[in-house]
Amino acid sequence: VEVIDEIPHQFQRRDVLFETTIQPGQTQVITYQLRPTKRGEYEFGALNVYAASPLRLVRRRFRFDQSRVVPVYPSFLQMRQYELLAIHNRLTEVGIKRIRRVGQSTEFEQIRPYAAGDDPRTINWKASARRAGGGSDTLVVNHFQDERAQQVFCLIDKGRVMRMPFAGLSLLDYAINATLVMSSIALIKHDKAGLLTFSNKPGATLPAERRPGHLRTILEVLYHQKTQYLETDYELLYATVRAKIKQRSLLILFTNFETLQGMERQLPYLRGLSKAHLLLVVFFENTELRTYLDAPADTTADVYNQTIAEKFQQEKRQIVLELQRYGIQALLTPPQLLTVNTLNKYLEFKARGLI
């Protein structure tokens, strides 16, 4: 008996073939392992069995329709690591900065006894006066917490600019991994997480919620997202956000701009979004330029390559300045630091009370 399984095309293998001998009425189990390296939908086809006579003079084919689509999700490891550290207030171990809160949150939680080091402005004098005594041990302070139930949307560009590879992953892959971590931490911080994907046509939209199972819903939407070959339609993004997101929210836009001119074409729509929401535009450093910038310039060609690399790097920095000039938050980051840098921005916004 010869058994051939039609495995998903992503594996690029044609050797999943097993030869065995089986007697009438006998049952035999054949197992094998496949290791996917990319997220997405993996479709298994039919199972083909070729049975031959003892002398192999006759051969018959049996085809069993066992078609099945198996989802392959992004790695949970990074998300779980950040979740555990956030729960135990140890995010500084992965590069998250400890940010001093500016001012006071407007969300009151409770009163508690005064302790050395508390801000005197938080003393609740009326409540303290009702307590017996009059010493410092009778003072109580208002205790505030970070504002909760804020809406945090991750907007993911799926246009051709996100196809660029880095260390085996596309920029879209990095954005998806960062979105999973960002959504998870937002939920832990008692905020609401939402999602919107876009390209030259409408993508997926999930409202900002904080219900049980919502992170799983986000994961189910993200695992099969693919980049498109056309330029992103920012006018469509602007119209979709206006129609779908009515409440002021933090919008984290994962995209990529290579030139100042390319960003300026989309600037009217970005400015429109920033008027109604807190918009953070996240785009990527071209880390391969560092190879040219750090290499010794021994020849005229080396000098030319360094000059061009410096020009492109400077243009990226100019994009940040131009966005900030119009009051738009901007983050230029290497792909490998995307998650850490995005989380730092989110926590900074919460500490400053901007959301």
Residue 157: what are its φ and ψ, rounded to 5°?
-75, 125
Stated pTM of the model? 0.76
Strands 278-284 and 165-166 turn out to be unpaired
The pLDDT, as a whole number, for residue 309 is: 64
50 beta partners: 2, 61
Question: How confident is the model at residue 311, as a pLDDT?
Answer: 80
Please tell me the predicted confidence (pLDDT) of residue 221: 96
Interatomic CA distance for residues 23 and 32, integer angstroms: 22
> CA 336 to CA 178: how far, in whole Å?
10
For 54-86, the pLDDT digits (tens) are 777 888 999 999 899 999 988 766 777 776 666
What pLDDT sits at residue 148?
67
3-state secondary structure of 111: strand
Which residues of the chain are modeled with pLDDT < 50? Answer: 102, 105-106, 134, 136
Contacts of 260 (CB under 8 A, 6+ apart): 315, 318, 319, 322
Set out the domains of the chain in order of their start, with CATH numbers.
2-72 (no CATH), 77-100+147-351 (3.40.50.410), 108-145 (no CATH)
Looking at the chain, the number of H-run helices and the number of E-run strands are: 9, 16
- Return the sign of the alpha-carbon dihedral for residues 164, 169, 172, 178: negative
